[in-house]
Amino acid sequence: MVRHAWFSDWSTLGVGNMKSIWLLISSASLLLIAVLMPNLPFPSKKYDYFFMVDITRSMNVQDYQNDNGDPVSRLEKVKADALIAIQKLPCGSRVGLGVFTERMPTLLYTPMEVCADYPEIRESIRRIDWRMAWVADSNIILALTNTLELMRTVEIENTTLVFFTDGQEAPPMNMRYAPDLAELQSADNNAQKRIRGLIVGTGDHALSRIPKYDEDGIQIGFYTAEDVPQGTTFGLPEDPSKIEGYVPRNAPWGNQSRAGNEHLSSVKEEYLKSLAEPAKLHYHHLQTANQLYNALTHEDFSQRHIRQTDLSFIPAALSLIFLFLAYLPENGFSFKRNKSVKPFRKTAS
Our CB check for another protein shows the closer of 132 and 175 to be 132
| 124 near another protein (CB under 8 A) | yes
Cβ proximity to another protein, 110 vs 302, nearer residue: 110
Residues 278-337 that bind another protein (CB under 8 A): 310, 312-313, 316-317, 319-320, 323-324, 326-330, 335
Q: What are phi and psi of 7, to 5 degrees?
A: -90, 0
Q: With beta carbons less than 8 A apart as the criterion, state whether 274 and 283 touch.
A: no
Residues within window 85-104 making contact with another protein, judged by CB under 8 A = 96, 98-99, 104
Interface of this chain with another protein, residues 147 to 166, rule: CB under 8 A = 150, 153-154
Name the one range near another protein by CB under 8 A: 19-27, 183-191, 214-222, 243-251.
19-27
How far is residue 97's CA from residue 111's CA, in Å, rounded to a whole number?
7
Binding mask 21-40 for another protein (x = CB under 8 A): x--xx-xx--xx-xx-----
Q: How many residues bind another protein (CB under 8 A)?
A: 76
35-74 positions binding another protein, by CB under 8 A: 35
Residue 89 burial (10 A CB sphere; 0-12, 13-18, 19+): buried
Instruction: Pick from 40, 206, 225, 341 the residue near another protein by CB under 8 A.
Output: 341
Q: Is 80 in the site for another protein (CB under 8 A)?
A: no
What's the min distance (Å) between Cβ of 12 and another protein? 5
Name which of 23 and 264 has its Cβ closer to another protein.
Answer: 23
Please calculate the CA angle 127-81-140 and round it to the nearest 5 degrees: 75
Buried b or exposed e, range 338-349, using 16+ CB within 10 angstroms:
eeeeeeeeeeee
Residue 203 lies near another protein (rule: CB under 8 A):
no
Q: Is 241 exposed, middle or buried (0-12, 13-18, 19+ CB in 10 A)?
A: exposed
In the complex, the smallest distance separating the C-beta of residue 276 from another protein, rounded to whole angstroms, is 24
Residue from 199, 149, 157, 161 nearest 49 by CA: 161
Question: Distances from the Cα of 83 to the Cαs of 65, 69, 76, 183, in angstroms?
Answer: 17, 20, 11, 33
Touching another protein, residues 236-265 (CB under 8 A): none
C-beta closer to another protein: residue 33 or 251: 33
